A and B are shown apart, each in its own frame.
Chain A
């Protein structure tokens, strides 16, 4: 099957800084694809380039067989966008937001109104249809942003950090809705820095750092190919001394971050047995996850 989103060797620089550096992405219909990366990795700029809102310095973008940016308008007709920062119309009710937004796609009033009950139900906002936007909770606003992105019944949905700032209940509801969308055959492209979100939702994902794609795989294979399968986190007052003396003996790789030593191992049993003899140290043994891969590939230092 051919790709519905086709990005080849995309480049973009701002003031000499390569924000997007040779990125290629191919996404099939019905796929949920995640773009992961620290702040400033180029995730949002990539989305802007895909929408044709900014022109690339090099490379090509094809969405639904439309060349972007030249035919970006035609492509956007079939795309829905959930932005990172809410930009709902604060002067309008929930329902008016959907109505006004539908008109931007050239839809008739009748056509939009026939979709509104379904959109409200999908976003659990039926009882809030006449509520003004400023009275909504953060989770409701996000859901309204999602409903608004679906008003034109898009084939592709871009979601820029869709659950940032939400409580766990609100986040789970969004996840559930996104899974429903992929099962309906919608193609999702989402950026996030919640590893759990990426692991649960995405069929495939890419890790971006400094504008470059440094890994691309299914969540399971991403972990399998990039990191030892087991992690033992060791914490306690003497963890630094312990790590210097023993960590290398039991683990393939280890890192110390604050009061915790992260030991990455093929087989955790010898290390666990050793730690059981050290009462002063506490530990936690778990399988490696996407966050471990992410930290390994992008480093532990802060990005602002």
Chain B
């Protein structure tokens, strides 16, 4: 690969008209999109929460339903960003050639990739808000600390859209994304404490878990919903930020390479 592919990202506000384009597309399907954001966590929490919740009265020092709420919030925001960055992003880059059209204007590839990340993170915030709304409506959380999950949803969104875009940059077709979901996302869900505490895992897997971004997201979200201040806030934030920045940079290198052909 050529040296100019490794240049630092050039950031500018030029991403904004591209982000607004994505928003306008979303606006046309806003109602089914919002319903999806609401229904998905609702079904999970009601189904698993009430079903398992009656068998498991308490987990990690709280009700199982509230325990699950923290996991669901992170897992939903992760999924929103991942689907947007992979399937929708690939469609814009490859299938619809939206990126080609934009690249003929003064907007650069760096701006486009940044807009993709910020848009996917926007979808995460929408998803996070929807989960929080469900949590409040079900009367599960009563603390104002839970509002901190909104900026957290943004950070989770940035992190998983940046990682997801690496896959998009490498993908020959939509089918490729199945690898990512079955080999990365699903195992991560099991290892990061969405459904049960990480300390239930064997020691080796606990070490793996400590490296996963979703684990750190959940370690922040869960106490915030319960009403406690999380431990090791800086550590968790740094891990999520490092994944975001590294993902952004790596995906940008790969996109520069791919689109130079």
Chain B interface bracket (under 10, 10 to 19, 20 to 34, 35 or more): 20 to 34
Minimal beta-carbon separation of B96 from chain A (angstroms): 6
B35 is an interface residue with CB less than 8 A from chain A: no
A88 is an interface residue with CB less than 8 A from chain B: yes
Q: Within the assembled complex, what's the spacing in Å between the Cα atoms of A8 and B86?
A: 41
Tell me the nearest residue of chain A to B111, going by C-beta: A104
A77 is an interface residue with CB less than 8 A from chain B: yes
Interface size on A, residues (CB 8 A): 27
Q: Within the assembled complex, what's the spacing in Å between the Cα atoms of A81 and B103?
A: 10
B231 is an interface residue with CB less than 8 A from chain A: no
A105 is an interface residue with CB less than 8 A from chain B: yes
Binds B, one of A51-59, A246-254, A256-264, A270-278: A51-59
B20 is an interface residue with CB less than 8 A from chain A: yes
Q: Within the assembled complex, what's the spacing in Å between the Cα atoms of A189 and B11?
A: 32
B151 is an interface residue with CB less than 8 A from chain A: no
| B261 & A14 in contact (Cβ 8 Å cutoff) | yes
Quick one: given A14-B261, A54-B260, A73-B108, are A104 and B24 in contact (CB under 8 Å)?
A: no
Q: Within the assembled complex, what's the spacing in Å between the Cα atoms of A73 and B100?
A: 15
Q: Mark B17-38, 1 if CB is under 8 A from A, else 0.
A: 1101100110010000000000
33-74 of chain A: CB within 8 A of chain B = 51, 53-55, 73-74
The residues of A that contact B25 with a CB separation of less than 8 Å are 89, 91-92
> Quick one: which of A14, A81, A85, A88 contacts B104, CB cutoff 8 A?
A81
Give the A-B contact count at a CB cut-off of 8 A.
62
212-257 of chain B: CB within 8 A of chain A = none
Tell me the nearest residue of chain A to B13, going by C-beta: A106
Q: Within the assembled complex, what's the spacing in Å between the Cα atoms of A152 and B105?
A: 9
The residues of A that contact B4 with a CB separation of less than 8 Å are 55
237-296 of chain A: CB within 8 A of chain B = none
The residues of B that contact A76 with a CB separation of less than 8 Å are 104-106
| B105 & A104 in contact (Cβ 8 Å cutoff) | yes
150-171 of chain B: CB within 8 A of chain A = none
> Quick one: which of B98, B102, B106 contacts A73, CB cutoff 8 A?
B106
Tell me the nearest residue of chain B to A97, going by C-beta: B101
The residues of B that contact A105 with a CB separation of less than 8 Å are 105-106
B59 is an interface residue with CB less than 8 A from chain A: no
A217 is an interface residue with CB less than 8 A from chain B: no
B107 is an interface residue with CB less than 8 A from chain A: yes
| A96 & B100 in contact (Cβ 8 Å cutoff) | no
Minimal beta-carbon separation of A247 from chain B (angstroms): 46
A30 is an interface residue with CB less than 8 A from chain B: no
Tell me the nearest residue of chain A to B104, going by C-beta: A81
Q: Within the assembled complex, what's the spacing in Å between the Cα atoms of A299 and B4?
A: 39
The residues of B that contact A81 with a CB separation of less than 8 Å are 104
The residues of B that contact A55 with a CB separation of less than 8 Å are 2, 4, 260
| A87 & B98 in contact (Cβ 8 Å cutoff) | yes
Q: Within the assembled complex, what's the spacing in Å between the Cα atoms of A73 and B104?
A: 9
Tell me the nearest residue of chain A to B21, going by C-beta: A100
| B103 & A53 in contact (Cβ 8 Å cutoff) | yes
| A83 & B106 in contact (Cβ 8 Å cutoff) | no
Residue in A76, A87, A101, A104 whose Cβ sees the most chain B Cβ within 10 Å: A104
Minimal beta-carbon separation of A150 from chain B (angstroms): 13
Q: Mark A97-110, 1 if CB is under 8 A from B, else 0.
A: 00011011110000
A residues bordering B, Cβ < 8 Å?
14, 51, 53-55, 73-74, 76-77, 79, 81, 83, 85, 87-92, 96, 100-101, 103-106, 152
Q: A55-B2, A76-B104 are in contact. List 5 more A-B contacts (CB 8 A).
A: A77-B106, A89-B96, A101-B101, A104-B17, A106-B17
- The 5 A-B pairs at the shortest CB distance, nearest first, are namely A87-B97, A103-B17, A104-B105, A81-B104, A87-B101
List 26 A-B pairs, Cβ < 8 Å: A51-B104, A54-B260, A55-B2, A73-B108, A76-B104, A77-B106, A79-B104, A83-B97, A88-B101, A89-B21, A89-B96, A89-B98, A92-B24, A96-B24, A100-B20, A101-B101, A101-B105, A103-B17, A104-B106, A104-B107, A105-B105, A105-B106, A106-B14, A106-B17, A106-B106, A152-B105
